[in-house]
Structure 1
C-alpha cells in the first residue's frame, strides 16, 4: 500500500491559532549569559525530543530581538515557569529592554540565568537551529537539570495562563 503525497491547503492563521489554543503548552523562559549581559525570552513551544541522548527543542519567533544574542552563545537555560509567575512571564514576553533589572537570579553550570521560583530548569547546548515557517527551531542537548518539588507549572491554554489544579493524575 503506497502513501499519498501530502495535501497542502491554505489554512487561515487565525483559525489555526484558535484550534491549537485548545492544546495546553508549557510556559518557559529561555535565558543566556551573553556578551551584552543576561538575555531572556518567553517560549511557549518547548518539547522533549529524546531520552537517549537527552534532547529538547524550543521554537523562537523569527522577530525576537533577544534570540540572536542567545543563539551566539551556543547554549542556553530553559526555565519552566511556576503557576504563580505571571509577572515573570510578562517581563520576559516584552520585546527589548533590560528584563533582568531588579530580578535576583542564580547561574546555571553553563553560566546562564536561572530564575527563582520556577518548576524546573535545564541547561542546554545548541546542536542545530533551523528556520521553520515564521519561527526558528533550536535543537539542544541537555547537560544539566533540576526541579523544585511541589511547585506546579504554568500552562497556556485557550489564550490564557493557567495552572494544573493539584498536580495529581485523574483517578489517583
Structure 2
C-alpha cells in the first residue's frame, strides 16, 4: 500500500492539472486501477486511454487544439466514460471557454454518478470555476461533495467558504489577539 506522500507524487505525475497536494479520493489500489474503467470493452478502453494520454501530453506542451482533438476523439469512442469529459474541461478552461468547461464537468459528474476519482476531480474543478464566477454557495456545495470523496483541497475550500466558520474564525482571532495584547486599563 502506498503512503500518502507516494500518492501525492503519483497524483502530481498522472494528474498534473489537479491542485498540488490533493491526492483525490482514498481508494485502494484495485479501485484506483478500475475507477472509470468498469464495464467497458478492453480494446476500446485501451484506445481511449491512449488518446487521453496524448491529449494530456499535448496540453502540457501548450497545444490545446491537439489536446481538445484527442479528448474529443476519446469521447466519440466511449461517450459514457467520464474521464475524457473531465480532461477536455481542463483544456477548454485553459482556452478560456468557461461555459464549455462547465458543460463537460457537468457531464463528467453525471456519468460518474458523483463517485470515484473522476467525480472528485470534476467537482473540484467545477467548484473552482463557480468560485471564480462568484457563485460561492454553489462552489461550496461542490467542494463539500468532493471533500466527502476524499479531497483535502476541497475540504479546505469548503471550510473557507462556510460563512459560519469564517465568523467563528474571525471571532477567535480577535479573542486571541486580545489575550496576546491586552489593553492597559485607563482607570
Identify the structure with the greater helix proportion.
2
Same fold, TM-score > 0.5, yes or no: no
Identify the structure with the greater strand proportion.
1
Q: Scaled by the length of structure 2, what TM-score is found? A: 0.26
Q: Scaled by the length of structure 1, what TM-score is found? A: 0.27
Higher relative contact order (CA 8 A, sep 6+): 1
